[in-house]
A and B are shown apart, each in its own frame.
Chain A
Amino acid sequence: MKILVPLKRVPDPDTKIRVNADGSGLETDGVKFAINPFDAIALEEALRLRDQVGAAEILVVSIGSADCQEQLRAGLAMGADRAMLVKHDAATDSLAVAKVLAAIYRREQPQLVLMGKQAIDDDANQTGQMLAALLGIGQATFISKLAVAADGSKATCCRETDAGLETVTVALPAIITADLRLNEPRYVTALGIMKAKKKPLEETTPAELGVSAASRTRVLKLTSAPKRKAGIRVKTVDELLQKLREEARVI
C-alpha cells in the first residue's frame, strides 16, 4: 500500500501573527513555522495504518519554497518513508495545489491520499475536494474515524458534520481529509529526527510534473482582526431582546 500525505508549511499555531506594514503578507521575522496541524493528524493516521497493515510506503509532499524542507524533514522524523518538495516560490491557491497533487498522484499511484481538512493559515478547506474532483475518485472529508478493509478495496469513515456523525464507505483509491478528533499525533523521537536526515527527499518543480502552480486568486490586502470592543450590561431580559433586535439585528 502506498499513502500520499501532503504537508503544508504554516505559521505555528502558538506563534504571534503580525500583518506586515503594507498589508501584503505576514511578518515572518521571529515567526515559527510548523506542519499544518490537520496534516500532522493525517500523517499520524497514515503511520497507524502502516502499523496495522504491516507494510505501507508513506510519501509526504510539500509545495512551496525551500523552507518547506523543514516540515518535510519533520514528517520524515515522525515516520514517513520519503519526501517530495515541489519547489515553487510564488503564491499558490487551493486549485493550483490540487493540480500539482493530481500530477503527483498520477505519477505515484497511491492507494490512499490522507490530508488535513484545511490549513490553519487560509482555512480554505477545498484542496482535498478539488483533488478528488480532478482525479475523478471518491472522497471522504472531515473524518474522525478511519477503518480500511483488509483487502484495501475500501475505507469506512466516520465524518463529523454539522448535523452529527455520518458513517460512509468509500472505494479506494480515495481522498480522505482529517478532522481534529481523528487522533493525537505522536511526539517525534530524537532517533527519528536523526534518522530522517538520511531518508530520501526528492526535489522537483511544477514544470517537471507537467503542471502549472500559478494562482488564479490574488490576495489584495491582509488586515489584523479588529480589537474586540468592551461589552455592555443590560438590566432586564426585555432590554436584552430589544438590543438584539434593534442594535445587533440578530433576531
Chain B
Amino acid sequence: MKKANVVQSLVSIAVVVVLLTVLNGFLSSFQARIFNLCGIYVILALSMNLINGFVGLFSLGHAGFMAVGAYTTAMLTMSKEMKEMNFFLEPIAPWLLNVQLPFPIALIVGGLMASLAAFIIGAPVLRLNDDYLAIATLGFSEIIRVIFTNTQSLTNGALGLKGLPYIGIANKSSEAYWWIWGIVIITVVFMVVLIKSTYGRAFKAIREDEVAAEAMGINLFKHKMMAFVIGAFFAGIGGSLLGHLMGTIDPLLFRYLLTFNIVLIVVLGGIGSITGSVISAIVVTIAMEVLRILDGTIKIGSLVINGIPGTRMVVFSVLLMVVILFYQRGLMGTKEFSWSWFKKLPFITKKAKIS
C-alpha cells in the first residue's frame, strides 16, 4: 500500500516535470514570466493554507513574512556596487555592504529570517484566537512595512531596492523558470508529507476542535507555532522569489493587499486543500493578467468603453464575495487530487474487469 503510494507520487512528479518541460518550450518570455509568477503564488498560497487552512489560524501576516524574506535575500545577493548605487540618500550600514552570498543560500536565509520573525511574534500572538489573531498579525505585517520604510541605512527606506540579480546562480533570466517550479515541487511534496504525517493529523484536529485536541494530549501552542514558523518560512521564500523575479522591491509592495490576494487564492481553491491552492494560484494569477483588458479601453464594434484602472480588482472582489456567499468550500473543499480518481472513470474500470 505504502510502496504503491510512493510510486504514484513519483509518477505524479515525473508527469509534472514533463509538462513543465513541454510548456517551457513554447511559452514566450512574457508568458513565461506570468507562469513564473503563478509558481510563486502557488508557494505563497500553500504556505498560507498550512497556517489558515490546516491549523485553522486566521493569520493575515503573510505580507510581513514575505517582506522579511525578500529584503533579507535581496541584501544578501546584491553586489557591493549595486548596493552603493541604491543607497544614495543615506549610505548603507557598513557591515551589510560587503556581504554577498550565492542565491540558493541567500534564499534559505531569507526563509529562515521570516521564520524567526514568526517565532518572535508567535509567542504572544498565537495565544489569541480568530479575529484577534487576524488583527494582531495584520498589525505585525504593517509594522514590518513601516520599519522597513524607516530603516534607511538597512533597507533604503521608501526608495526601495533596484537591480536585484536574476533568480539562479548563473545570473540569466531564463534560469528562473526551473528554480521557481523546482521550489514549487519541493513545497508541494513537503506539504503533502507534512499533512499526511501525525503532525498533519494533529493540525487538522486543532482546526476541528481545539478543546478536544488538547484533551487528546496535543500541545496546542507547540503545534500552532510549528505551523506558523513553517508557513512563514515558505512565505519568506515566496517573497524572495517575487522580489528577484521583479528585480525591484519597495515597502509598498508588501501592503496588506498582497496578503488579501493570497487569501483570495486560498479561499477560491478551498481552505484546507493543497490541490485547490495549486490550481487556484495558477488560475487566479493568469486571470489577473488576462483581465487587465478590463482596465484598458474596450472596443466592441462602434461601442467604446473607457476602462477604469482597477476594474479587474473589482471583478475579483465580487468573485470572492460570490464564493463566500454561495460556495464556501471553494473549488476543492478539503479534498485532494489522488490517482484513485482515475479508477472511477468508466473506461478504466472496464479494463480492470477484463484483466
Whether chain B is bound by chain A comes out as: no
Query: A: which residues have CB within 8 A of B?
Result: none
Query: B: which residues have CB within 8 A of A?
Result: none
